[in-house]
Structure 1
């Protein structure tokens, strides 16, 4: 718990110092494969917006831009190197050959909705860009649905910081609740999408 307090204090200090560029850089790291959680970036930025040190709209926009840029970094890594990135498993990132193949098949089958949902899910959001790059998903669609999915998560995290402020206990509590709610919403969207597609296929 003490470590969480120290991390949040550090982020608040440095986001205030480096401003919107700091948010973009940190969210770039979070959205690529670097182990840097958005949960310790956007709530402190939201708090700074609540006390007038930053603009709320620009905070959210910076978070979305950083997320898209980080996702594009992974996307183009996969475009350039293809499956060679995953030969033997991307084990130090927790992405095995089998998991990558499942994600790839999911994207091939569901495309845009897969990218959108992937950005809402913990851990998966960092890796969903790799199979998108390997299958050469249309770049405009990739950016659009990455932006929408990331935007929802960035907005939720920012508003937690905006309303809860520097109360670390409440931040942690609301983060857990937000994660669970997001997982449920993503699951509902997926079920509706799958059922809708099955209905369309039956009518064809």
Structure 2
């Protein structure tokens, strides 16, 4: 998929927020397009004055939610046998699905929230949620809550790095894990602060 990166960036340059939403929908529908590429470049365009930060975040969230809901219903209606049989035609690798399933089995709805900030798992976590037929409203709430900080932070970092935004791509999955640790730490600090109050 890396060889198509230039095409994705040209697509975003030409179609703006619509392209961000569409690519994020595809990324959350198990198509291997790195969200760091989409949102990082969006951040750079904010830096360059060609996009508005808030609107870029909204486009990223809308696209991610649409893709996640589609994937949820694939799992809900087709079940794991369907995904294992036909998933290969839609870039759904069995080991990736198994990793997401393990996360969901261990943490349930919490996995839907936290995995949105983890490499690979964030793309596939909607499937086991669909397999388990969890309440769609709870799924949407957890997906939104997990996607929002990730989307904001990646766009912000792309904006902060400016012309050097591609540095986050070079770090790859380690960067995603670092972001996850930071977000979890912030959530814990906020929780402790509120609990003390």
TM-score norm. by structure 1 comes to 0.76
Aligned to 1:102: 102
1:126-180 C-alpha deviation (Å, 9 max, x unpaired): 1110110111111111111111211121112111211111225534467666423
Distance 1:171 1:87 in 2: 32
Distance 1:15 1:51 in 2: 14
* Structure 1: gaps of 5 or more residues: 193-204
Report the Cα offset of residue 99 of structure 1: 4.1
Aligned to 1:93: 92
Report the Cα offset of residue 47 of structure 1: 1.2
**CA RMSD, 1 decimal:** 3.0
Match of 1:39 among 26, 33, 36: 36
Aligned to 1:80: 77
Cα 1:169/1:40, change in 2 over 3 Å: closer
Match of 1:19 among 4, 11, 16: 16
Distance 2:43 2:172 in 1: 13
For residues 178-197 of structure 1, what are the structure 2 equivalents within 5 Å?
178-185=175-182
* Structure 2: gaps of 5 or more residues: 189-197
TM-score norm. by structure 2 comes to 0.78
Asked if the contact 1:77–1:130 (Cα under 8 Å) also holds between the matched residues in 2, the reply is: yes
Cα 1:36/1:12, change in 2 over 3 Å: closer
Distance 1:165 1:10 in 2: 20
Distance 1:103 1:83 in 2: 15
Matched, 1:52 2:49: yes
Helix, strand or coil at the partner of 1:58:
helix
The runs of at least 4 aligned residues of structure 1 exceeding 6 Å deviation read: 186-189
